């Protein structure tokens, strides 16, 4: 928003994060964001506070808090969204638009509209709109400044006009815009993520079949992806999806559908989730098979993890397939060594029992099995001949189906790939 020329106040309740942001430091890994942040902290167009009243007079308020999965159900935890509205509303004394960005179960915005009307001194002058975002981690800056589309959920002319002004740069550049009601706007986000998850699980289901018959899922994806109606994107088979969005969104969607009495409509998402889970278990199974004939050692078989983040260009380990597998193998008595260019810190916080290193050679040294689970480009550049000299046994599972099978095998590696012969 500061980059687009607006005067921005970021409100954050964690004092550690406020302090970092004020110094222009991003408290997580995201390409291109540090430069943007420090530029606008310096220009004075972007400042941070933990005091909500400093932001109360704004013309537009974006609510961008998380909606994680509840610990004891499939549903989304709306505590943070509710708290944001409850604490902001009493401070709203002049006309404003409160814009929800968080991914929420359909019907939340309607409930919050009523709450806002009840609590805001500005009354009907404080409008609520829903404006989901679709940014991908690793491409957050690009996706925000040049989105594929904009969705505005509001039936109020003033709210629509305000948001059109906010997004004038993108709209002038021809970004498609869909203006719709609150419920549809909420549903757009979850259905988009449900579709993407389904696409990934579809190709992973094909991978399971390919494994049975010795077929190649990457060729299959290329071939069906050439059909413009299908498209090649999000057809990369492998260890499946993770992260803070896709897994919890498909679960929250099922939960909400069930509350609404239309659980049949999202029943297929149970399979989408189950296929995704089976891919993780498949990697565990392949690892067990590979070490099956080895002599038993006191420390257990040493497994080198190439990657901990749920995807490259991110340090996010939420619902990471790599970390799930690391945890399972550690529990089963394996000696787990994890390498990741950015995510060893967050991974260590979740699984402190594993060994972590930022030195790739160190990770590979003495390994009985190597698991390639996050497709950071650095792993594709590994020289298999040199790597074979570091490990105890040259065995690798390619959980992202991107390694050059011929190159690795001709260097003496026993390479197993998900969905490829």
List residues binding ligand UDX (CB under 6 A).
134-137, 193, 196, 200, 234-236, 238, 240-243, 245-246, 310-311
Which one of the listed residues 64, 172, 210, 245 is annotated catalytic?
A: 245
* Residue 401 DSSP label: S
Range 26-65 burial, b when 16+ CB lie within 10 A, else e: eebbbeeeeebbeebbeeebbbbeeebeebbebebbbbeb
Q: Which is nearer to ligand UDX, 9 or 192 (CB)?
A: 192
Distance between CA atoms of residues 152 and 179, nearest Å: 5
Q: Enter the tokens of residue 261.
A: 């009495």
CB 343 within 8 A of CB 315: yes
Strands (E), 3-65: 8-11, 46-49, 60-63
The response to whether 381 counts as a known ligand-binding position is no
Shortest Å distance, C-beta 138 to ligand UDX:
7
Shortest Å distance, C-beta 90 to ligand UDX:
31
Shortest Å distance, C-beta 321 to ligand UDX:
7
CA dihedral sign, ordered 23, 29, 35, 41: negative
Q: Enter the tokens of residue 406.
A: 């011929």
The response to whether 49 counts as a known ligand-binding position is no
Shortest Å distance, C-beta 245 to ligand UDX:
3
Active site residue 245: yes
Shortest Å distance, C-beta 246 to ligand UDX:
5
The response to whether 360 counts as a known ligand-binding position is no
Q: Which is nearer to ligand UDX, 137 or 186 (CB)?
A: 137
The response to whether 135 counts as a known ligand-binding position is yes
Distance between CA atoms of residues 372 and 322, nearest Å: 9
Shortest Å distance, C-beta 184 to ligand UDX:
17
Cα→Cα distances 252→70, 110, 134, 197, 201, Å: 9, 18, 17, 13, 17
Q: Which is nearer to ligand UDX, 38 or 144 (CB)?
A: 144
Q: Which is nearer to ligand UDX, 134 or 376 (CB)?
A: 134
Distance between CA atoms of residues 256 and 409, nearest Å: 48
* Residue 164 DSSP label: H
Distance between CA atoms of residues 57 and 59, nearest Å: 7
Q: Which is nearer to ligand UDX, 76 or 89 (CB)?
A: 76
Distance between CA atoms of residues 40 and 42, nearest Å: 5
Nearest to 312 by CA among 136, 147, 194, 144: 136
Q: Which is nearer to ligand UDX, 127 or 239 (CB)?
A: 239
The response to whether 35 counts as a known ligand-binding position is no
Nearest to 246 by CA among 205, 189, 197, 203: 197
The response to whether 136 counts as a known ligand-binding position is yes
The response to whether 199 counts as a known ligand-binding position is no
Q: Residue ranges for the binding site for substrate?
A: 134-137, 189, 234-238, 242, 311
Q: Residue ranges for the binding site?
A: 17, 67, 103, 134-137, 189, 234-238, 242, 248, 311, 318
Q: Residue ranges for the binding site for NAD(+)?
A: 17, 67, 103, 137, 248, 318
Catalytically annotated residues:
245
């Amino acid at each position: 928003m500061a980059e687009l020329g607006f005067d921005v106040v970021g409100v954050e309740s964690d004092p550690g994060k406020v302090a970092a942001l004020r110094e222009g430091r991003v408290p997580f890994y995201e390409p291109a964001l540090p430069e943007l942040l420090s530029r606008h902290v310096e220009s004075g167009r972007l400042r941070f506070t933990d005091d909500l009243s400093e932001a109360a007079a704004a013309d537009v308020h974006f609510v961008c808090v998380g909606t994680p999965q509840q610990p004891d159900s499939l549903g989304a935890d709306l505590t943070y969204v509710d708290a944001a509205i409850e604490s902001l509303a009493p401070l709203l004394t002049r006309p404003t638009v409160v814009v929800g960005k968080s991914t929420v179960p359909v019907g939340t915005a309607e409930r919050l509209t009523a709450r806002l009307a009840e609590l805001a001194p500005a009354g009907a002058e404080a409008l609520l709109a829903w404006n989901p975002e679709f940014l991908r981690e690793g491409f957050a800056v690009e996706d925000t400044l040049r989105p594929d589309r904009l969705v505005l959920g509001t039936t109020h002319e003033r709210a629509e006009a305000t948001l059109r002004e906010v997004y004038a740069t993108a709209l002038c550049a021809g970004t498609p815009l869909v203006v719709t009601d609150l419920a549809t706007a909420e549903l757009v986000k979850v259905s988009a993520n449900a579709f993407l998850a389904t696409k990934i699980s579809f190709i992973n289901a094909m991978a399971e079949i390919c494994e049975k018959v010795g077929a190649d899922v990457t060729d299959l994806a290329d071939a069906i992806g050439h059909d413009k109606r299908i498209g090649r994107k999000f057809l990369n088979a492998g260890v499946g999806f993770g992260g803070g969005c896709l897994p919890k969104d498909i679960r929250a969607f099922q939960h909400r559908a069930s509350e609404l009495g239309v659980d049949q409509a999202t029943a297929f998402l149970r399979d989408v989730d189950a296929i995704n889970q089976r891919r993780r278990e498949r990697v565990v199974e392949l690892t067990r098979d590979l070490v099956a004939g080895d002599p038993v050692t006191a420390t257990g078989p040493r497994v080198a993890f190439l990657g901990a983040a749920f995807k490259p260009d991110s340090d996010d380990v939420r619902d990471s397939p790599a970390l799930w597998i690391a945890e399972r193998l550690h529990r089963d008595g394996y000696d787990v060594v994890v390498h990741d260019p950015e995510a060893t810190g967050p991974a260590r916080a979740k699984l402190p029992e594993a060994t972590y290193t930022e030195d790739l050679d160190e990770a590979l040294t003495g390994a009985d099995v190597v698991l390639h689970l996050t497709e950071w480009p650095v792993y594709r550049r590994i020289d298999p001949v040199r790597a074979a000299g570091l490990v105890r046994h040259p065995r690798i599972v390619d959980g992202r189906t991107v390694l050059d099978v011929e190159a690795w095998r001709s260097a003496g590696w026993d390479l197993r790939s998900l969905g490829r012969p």
